[in-house]
């Protein structure tokens, strides 16, 4: 559980997955974000291109879910947190790749 705390995750039990009685070290949303990072690397390796607009949409999906939950408009579930976290992770990685590519081109 230390690794999860070091990553900045709140580790709330009700917002985390469990396996055979053991709580994951990070919450469902953070699990999704890390899964999204892995998926993004795989997509990058197989030469998938994602536009900046799509990156923005992928990132906004999680932000909207978090705000809907925060303002008690719509209750989020761990599955929804997992998927919105994964979309954020994919969007963030590709956004960073666009930024790095742009910086390298300017050098």
Give per-residue pLDDT as tens, 20-48: 989 899 999 999 999 999 999 999 999 99
What is the structure's pLDDT at 8?
A: 77
What is the structure's pLDDT at 9?
A: 85
What is the structure's pLDDT at 2?
A: 61
How much of the chain, in percent, has pLDDT values that exceed 90? 76
Long-range contacts of 6-14 (CB under 8 A, 24+ apart): none
Whole-prediction pTM value? Answer: 0.88
What is the structure's pLDDT at 85?
A: 98
Break the chain into its structural domains and give their ranges: 29-106
Per-residue pLDDT, averaged over 55-64, amounts to: 98
Long-range contacts of 2-9 (CB under 8 A, 24+ apart): 4/30
């Amino acid at each position: 559980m230390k690794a999860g705390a070091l990553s900045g995750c709140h580790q709330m039990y009700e917002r985390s997955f469990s396996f055979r009685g053991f709580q994951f070290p990070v919450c469902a949303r953070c699990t999704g974000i890390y899964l999204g990072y892995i998926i993004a690397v795989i997509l990058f390796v197989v030469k998938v291109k994602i536009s900046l607009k799509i990156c923005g949409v992928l990132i906004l999906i999680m932000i909207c879910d978090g705000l809907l939950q925060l303002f008690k408009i719509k209750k989020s579930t761990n599955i929804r947190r997992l998927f919105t976290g994964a979309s954020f992770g994919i969007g963030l990685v590709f956004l960073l790749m666009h930024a790095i590519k742009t910086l390298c081109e300017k050098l």
